[in-house]
Amino acid sequence: MKPAKPFWSLVQEDADSGCWIWKGTVSRYGYGLHYQDRKTFRAHRFAYEQMVAPVPEGLVLDHLCKTTACVNPGHLDPVPNGLNVKRGDSPSSVNREKTHCLNGHEFDPENTYITTRGERSCRTCHREYQREWQRLRRLKVG
């Protein structure tokens, strides 16, 4: 696809970060949206494919700069989606790095189980919760 002049007129370089910031339409998640030939493209993907190469099948572009509006190909790394999520700072990424539950129990194979919602949970905390629930239930019934 031939690079469109209007595309580059909507890009502004940030001298401090080196990011090329998309000044056109953005998605609700902050990713630039470029419209050309009646099609919508993610601006960072469009820039990468114009200046570097097509993104390999099965890979996504990770913003190494963590700026979703950046279209600088030097700040984009084609990676599997799982690695992109792991590198991010979303709640799931942050939680994945936790080694202990909120009460300080270690997330190790013996003390961790996966809930039906796909979340890690602490067996020790779960046992303590169940014991307290049973105790309160007995008090209520008796």
Name the residue range of residue 123's domain: 98-142
Q: Count up the domains in the chain and report the number.
A: 2
Instruction: Tell me what pLDDT residue 86 has.
Output: 84
Residues 139 and 74 in one domain: no
Mean pLDDT of the chain: 92
CATH code of the domain covering residue 14:
3.90.75.20
pLDDT in tens, 108-138: 999 999 999 988 999 999 999 999 999 999 9
Alpha-carbon gap, residue 80 to 44, rounded angstroms: 16
> Could you tell me which of 72, 9, 65, 26 has the C-alpha nearest to residue 46?
72
Residues 76 and 6 in one domain: yes
pTM of the model: 0.67
Angle, CA 38 vertex, CA 32 and CA 39 arms, to 5°: 45
| Over residues 79-94, mean pLDDT | 86
